[in-house]
Structure 1
Amino acid sequence: MPSLSNHQQTNLLLPPHCRPKTRCSLGNFAGFANSSGSQRKALKNSGRYSRLVHVRVQTTRQNPAMTTKHGDVKIFEGIQDLTTSLADYISERADAAVKDRGSFSIALSGGSLISTMSKLYEPPYNKIIDWSKWHVFWADERVVPRNHPDSNYKLAKDGLLSKVPIIPGQVYSINDSLSADAAAEDYEFGLRQLVKTRIVDAASSSDSPKFDLILLGMGPDGHIASLFPGHPLTHEKDKWIASIKDSPKPPPERITFTFPVINSAANVAMVITGSNKADVLQKAFGEKQDTGVLPVQMVDPTEGNLVWFLDKPAASKL
């Protein structure tokens, strides 16, 4: 890890390309209601993210800053500072996307991520975000009923989406009556229709969707979404959405975005908290690859930007 400095952060956040404003509705995507509108600070545009480019890192409460090749890294003293900064960041990305394309496509994951988004349903964010322009997806989902405690949809609905007014047809959950394979195929089919109509932007260098923002957490083993260390799905090149039936973390059956989709996003935010993540983050940010590449190390947007939101315990070994 490069040495620490006292420089302030330089954001490298690119707005997505302009696309025509269109709408569609897909019966095989389920939805419910959400809320509001986004006028935040202007987006800073200072070039394309690259792992070969060193960028400065923001820390809070007078923590020293550090320079890293792994993207724009923000380290926070406490969870409250992290959640406020994350709310600012999401609000800014949403505002930029709506101004550029007339809609905002965001993909969520599970775990503790939703709790870190809690500021969004509080003032001022619940009033300034244009929730009617949001289109919400899941980067991974457990193949369980939508009212099941293991459902990422239920987690997001209970923890955020039911507290803000999103249009019902713009929240795209999986068809929970299908098998894992069929649910993955169905979700990809629906996503392809939304890319055709530009509700979700299209990557310029491939046929992949270009989400305005993908929010990801990380497991203590370095997995992201439902892409686990050593699993063949980490090398999937063709499918946008894949099924997994042997997840090492229960429940075993899931669907997940693949790396072609994750790395085509305009913005990817890694939100990682807790001291149990410190060892794997140390490895992910290190120079040595002694036991193979972790899934978290494979997050590398080709047309976009990577931002890390870390609390001090998670970043304690960097």
Structure 2
Amino acid sequence: MSNERRVIVHPDKETLAGSVAARFLTKVVDLIAEFDEATVVLTGGSMGIAVLAAINASPARDSVDWSRVNVWWGDERFLPEGDPERNETQAREALLDHVPLDPARVHPFARSDAGIDLDAAAAAYAEELAEHAARDSRQPHFDITFLGMGPDGHIASLFPERSGIREREATVLAVRNSPKPPPERLSLTLPVINSSARIWLVVAGQDKAAALGLTLAGASINEVPAAGVEGRRRTLFFVDGEAAAEVPENLIDPGQFWTGADEG
């Protein structure tokens, strides 16, 4: 098995979203054919949601047996149900409400109006992960985990110079005083994220170039949390030309096309 990192550069955000969507649909069809299900972890952010919208717009969308897809989230803003800033709300509007998912296979984080506080919400998600855990694990087998990356190099709701990025025991964090609003969030921890077979980071914009360069140069995860991301099989960075400005040339994948033979 390979856990190599690769950077795949696209000319603009629209092409980037469309390419990742096409790759996702092909991979999920293959996973369901092989394992009878596929488990994905979603992210928020402009590109994370753009990819979901591109999946929904694809002519190949209905080639997936969506009833066999399990959906989790890497992090969430602790806000009321239906709040437009929740990753769940945005994902449902972009894709999830448009495909025939099994509601029992969709696992959102608790909402702030659910009658529990932030710590209880984190504990509840950790318990839900454990209930669906793979053998000898504390979480399900994740096939594909989507991540975005902030200009500061944060992933999910794991921020630089915060203790959360160094957490190794818990599976879910209650995040307070987030440097990005809203202040209260929930997040998977780095070991849980890295348990995924494939991690796909989708990164766009000039403001991400410096952090992406540092990520790929092996910066400290305390300073650049994205530097700690490592899927068990493959870690892929899908980026646009602006975000790739400081990526070492030797890490950029020269191929422009992908086939099902690619393990990604």
> TM-score, normalised on structure 1?
0.72
Please list, as runs of the form range in 1=range in 2, the aligned pairs for 1:1-318 lying within 5 A after superposition. Answer: 47-50=1-4, 71-112=5-46, 113-176=48-111, 177=114, 178-195=116-133, 201-202=134-135, 207-286=138-217, 293-301=223-231, 303-318=232-247
User: Compared with structure 1, are the counterparts of its residues 123 and 226 closer, same or farther at alpha carbon in structure 2 (3 Å cutoff)?
Assistant: closer
Q: Deviations over 1:170-208 (max 9, x none)?
A: 21112221211101110111111112xxxxx45x7x544
1:261 to partner: Cα distance: 0.6
Where structure 2 has 5 or more consecutive residues not aligned to the other structure, the ranges are 248-264
Q: Hey, what's the Cα distance between the residues in 1 that align with 2:31 and 2:190?
A: 22
Q: Deviations over 1:203-229 (max 9, x none)?
A: x7x544331111000011100000000
Q: Deviations over 1:233-277 (max 9, x none)?
A: 111111111111121111111110101111110110000011111
Higher helix share: 2
Q: Hey, what's the Cα distance between the residues in 2 that align with 1:227 and 1:183?
A: 17
What SS does the aligned partner of 1:238 have? Answer: coil
Q: Hey, what's the Cα distance between the residues in 2 that align with 1:151 and 1:86?
A: 22
Contact 2:11 2:241 in 1 (8 A): yes
Where structure 1 has 5 or more consecutive residues not aligned to the other structure, the ranges are 1-46, 51-70, 196-200
Which residue in the other structure is 1:54 paired with? none
> TM-score, normalised on structure 2?
0.86
Contact 1:209 1:261 in 2 (8 A): no
The sequence identity of aligned pairs, in percent, is 33
What SS does the aligned partner of 1:310 have? Answer: strand
Contact 1:86 1:117 in 2 (8 A): no
Q: How much is the aligned-residue C-alpha RMSD, in angstroms?
A: 1.8
Q: Hey, what's the Cα distance between the residues in 2 that align with 1:293 and 1:115?
A: 27
One-letter code aligned to 1:84: G
Runs of 4+ aligned residues of structure 1 deviating over 4 Å after TM superposition are: none
What SS does the aligned partner of 1:246 have? Answer: coil
1:139 to partner: Cα distance: 0.3
Q: Hey, what's the Cα distance between the residues in 2 that align with 1:123 and 1:254?
A: 32
One-letter code aligned to 1:179: D
Q: Hey, what's the Cα distance between the residues in 2 that align with 1:101 and 1:238?
A: 29
1:127 to partner: Cα distance: 1.9
User: Compared with structure 1, are the counterparts of its residues 123 and 116 closer, same or farther at alpha carbon in structure 2 (3 Å cutoff)?
Assistant: closer
Q: Which has the larger radius of gyration?
A: 1
